[in-house]
Structure 1
Amino acid sequence: MTTHRALSDVLDRLEQSLDGKKVRVRHLVDRLGRASFASVMLVFSLISTSPASAIPGVTAVVAMITLLLIVQMMIGRESLWLPDIIMNKKLDTKTVAKGIAWLRKPVHRVERLLRPRLTFLFHRPWLWLPMILIAGLTLFMPFMELVPTSGSIASAVIALFAASLLTRDGLLTLFSFALLSAVPVVIYLI
């Protein structure tokens, strides 16, 4: 996967996996690759960043999935594991396709800015800090459903971190830190 198209490649693989009226999460995860923690994290966080976050429970489910992914990354698992209740969940193919189409333009714009830099941030011990902070954020996300749009902001932080992992762009990781520090302030102001 080339760095300058890493995000578009995730969308391409998702789009190619759509078939029929419904698609199982298991099929999408298999298509993205069992070893692609960042791709799966990006997809789920983008779902929660979208207007779908207004549906009760979406933010909490994305938080749980992200926490599972982060923990597995921290312990060094080679392939990801998600519970069957999530893997067997069926999603509407048209809705997923619309979401992918909606993301194409912003992803294309963002990809032009991303490139490998500050890559030392993706090696231990530096990589532990963002993973611990994201894990901490996921613990508060279920409570964020009480404050409209706050879950979307938290999911955007996770999406930026996942995108930084895919593109190896440490500057994007630092930007996600900055946004993470703004989450409590934004929630307080809302």
Structure 2
Amino acid sequence: MQQDNYTGPNHSGPDPWPKKPSRLSDIVRSIDTSEDTTIGALVDSLGERAFGALMFIFAVPNIIPTPPGTSAILGLPLVILTWQLMMGRQSLWLPETIRKRRISREVLGSFVSKMLPFMGKIERVLKPRFGLIVASDLAERLIGLITFALALVLFLPIPFNNMLPAAAISCVALGLAERDGMAVFLGYLLGVASVAVLALISSALYIGVVAFFRALFGF
């Protein structure tokens, strides 16, 4: 995926590691939090950045406390983004209705202020490694497939079910942006955990509904 000086995996040359992209903390720090903005303006301000950077920006607010409805605002563009990554697109496209959705400066400010200290710490351990997991067209399509499924889970209106899939997508996004296969693998593990939690919640809801109707109608 193209990002700053990085133009995607070099499938024809012998060098498996492209030039290191700009750090995500620098990208996040450049976001203007002085006024409300739209999703389209945010995407345009990033220019030809990594899909990983955009995935991180759309996913990570769901990990930290934010105003209600944040997952609904950011979830749909995340679904569209990961779908395009899965399809192998080299640039991001968003429909105009999504581009016009507004993000308040409070949400942006909360995101930037809370994430920068964390990102400064996590970026100390991120580095290009385990290239088979992240640095090929097939690997990026697999990342797109898995994060697309997680984005759908994140978008579902299920209480208390946002944090794990958002954390999984954020880990994968960090790994994709920094070409760190270890971070991507950790994101995969968190993704498995989030699906397991979703299954448990769904089972509990089903059992609760069945028990309610049995008590109500006496069967």
TM-score, normalised by the number of residues in structure 1: 0.83
Cα deviation 1:41-66 (Å, max 9, x = unaligned) = 110101222222x624x334433222
In the aligned structure 2, how far is the partner of 1:104 from the partner of 1:85? 30
Aligned position for 1:113: 125
Say whether residues 1:184 and 2:184 are aligned partners.
Answer: no
Say whether residues 1:152 and 2:163 are aligned partners.
Answer: yes
In the aligned structure 1, how far is the partner of 2:111 from the partner of 2:137? 34
Q: Larger deviation: 108-117 or 28-37?
A: 28-37
Alignment of 1:4-153 (within 5 A): 6-14=23-31, 17-19=32-34, 21-52=35-66, 55-56=68-69, 58-122=70-134, 123-143=136-156, 145-148=157-160, 150-153=161-164
Structure whose alpha-carbon radius of gyration is higher? 2
Name the SS for the 2:137 alignment partner: coil
Whether the 8 Å CA contact 1:35–1:78 is kept in 2: the answer is no
**For residues 82 and 171 of structure 1, do their structure 2 counterparts lie closer, same or farther at Cα, with a shift above 3 Å needed?**
same
In the aligned structure 2, how far is the partner of 1:79 from the partner of 1:9? 20
Match of 1:169 among 155, 180, 194: 180
**For residues 48 and 38 of structure 1, do their structure 2 counterparts lie closer, same or farther at Cα, with a shift above 3 Å needed?**
same
AA matched with 2:152? L
Question: Where does the alignment leave 5 or more consecutive residues of structure 2 unmatched?
Answer: 5-18, 205-219
- Stretches of 4+ moved more than 3 A in 1? 1-5, 60-63
Name the SS for the 2:23 alignment partner: helix
Question: Where does the alignment leave 5 or more consecutive residues of structure 1 unmatched?
Answer: none
Name the SS for the 2:94 alignment partner: coil
More relative contact order in 1 or in 2 (CA 8 Å, sep 6+)? 1
Whether the 8 Å CA contact 2:86–2:148 is kept in 1: the answer is no
Whether the 8 Å CA contact 2:60–2:170 is kept in 1: the answer is yes
Identical columns (%):
23
